[in-house]
Amino acid sequence: MTDTPTDLAIHARGLAKRFGPVQAVSRIDLDLAPGQALGLLGTNGAGKSTTLSLLMGLRAPDTGQALIFGHPAGSPAARRLSGATPQATDFPDQITPREILTYAAARYGTAPDISALIRDFGLNDLIDRRIAGFSGGQMRRVALALAFVGQPRLVFLDEPTSGLDSAAQDRFRIQARAYVAQGGALVLTSHHWDEIEAICDTIALIDRGEIVLSGRIDTIRAQTRITRLAFDLPPGRMPPPWLLATPDGARWQAETTDSDTTLRRMVTEGLPFANLTLHPLDLKDLIDRLQHKDSRP
């Protein structure tokens, strides 16, 4: 944590925004360094979109400040250094991806590398077609290309893959990781937990307008250290009570914070298990667990 605000892609402190009687977000603190990907999580209405719009400078916070590489969010310098996906549903019908990419690049003061964008975002047969009649997934690909067209050092991707087929989703994950590996900073909101997990190294969970959990995914995981075991038992055979296993269809499931000891004990006691699998708790369950532990009545 020796980074100064100027080094950080995002440095936000005490962001709060009220809409009439509704406190949309309060006390949002966020840091994001170059080469990091942050997953913003939260249910609908939790304050994700408001947080994004404050970080992008589309709205001014009531209190607090967000700095993008040291520049206030929304300032010309901050906008030059960042890119974002538009909500893909309402591109003007009359223009082609090439035209809109050229336009967006011009706003960054550059000419777009169209052939690279075609390759990276699968636009080959779309590039010169008018957007009228594009499917949701096709528009999404254009939207993704637009976030990266100005070679930003920070991108905001709001539900970037909804409507994409799985091949395009996979391609996007590879690209997003490559972008981060090259030093780009990335903010992602997604309903796909596996996508967050595949791309992001840190997460911030927003609930009722506040960040209730944030940190590196591996640190959070290390803190809980929960592993999930699944195995078969011969019909009629019950697992020992200490294992606290629950039936899951034909299989049994159990969770442990110390998989080595648990497994040794299962072997020592001669439990006739078969087809054993061990998985770390996935992100969704991990966060559910943490929220339950933290939830106040």
- CA atoms of 186 and 1, how far apart (whole Å): 19
**Cβ-Cβ contacts under 8 Å for 171 (sequence gap 6 or more):** 120, 121, 122
- CA atoms of 174 and 184, how far apart (whole Å): 14
- 221 binds other proteins per the rule CB under 8 A: no
- Binding-site string for other proteins from residue 115 to residue 144, where x marks contact by CB under 8 A and - marks none: ---------------x--------------
Q: Which is nearer to other proteins, 92 or 247 (CB)?
A: 92
According to CB under 8 A, which one of 26, 189, 190, 262 is a site residue for other proteins?
Answer: 26
Of the chain, the end-to-end C-alpha distance in Å amounts to 34
Q: Tokens for 237?
A: 């055979």
- CA atoms of 267 and 243, how far apart (whole Å): 13
According to CB under 8 A, which one of 3, 6, 7, 89 is a site residue for other proteins?
Answer: 89
- 63 binds other proteins per the rule CB under 8 A: yes
- 43 binds other proteins per the rule CB under 8 A: yes
- 246 binds other proteins per the rule CB under 8 A: no
- 23 binds other proteins per the rule CB under 8 A: yes
Q: Which stretch binds other proteins (CB under 8 A): 87-95, 171-179, 192-200, 271-279?
A: 87-95
- CA atoms of 152 and 291, how far apart (whole Å): 34
- 86 binds other proteins per the rule CB under 8 A: yes
- Pick out residues in 153-212 that bind other proteins (CB under 8 A): 208-209
Alpha helices in the chain (DSSP H): 48-55, 76-81, 97-107, 114-121, 136-148, 166-181, 193-199, 217-224, 259-268, 283-294
- 295 binds other proteins per the rule CB under 8 A: no
Instruction: Work out the number of other CB atoms within 10 angstroms of the CB of residue 169.
Output: 20
Q: Which is nearer to other proteins, 60 or 276 (CB)?
A: 60
Q: Which residues sit at the interface with other proteins, rule CB under 8 A?
A: 16, 18-24, 26, 43-47, 50, 56-60, 62-63, 74, 76, 79-80, 82, 84-87, 89-92, 94-95, 99-100, 102-104, 106-109, 130, 146, 150, 208-209
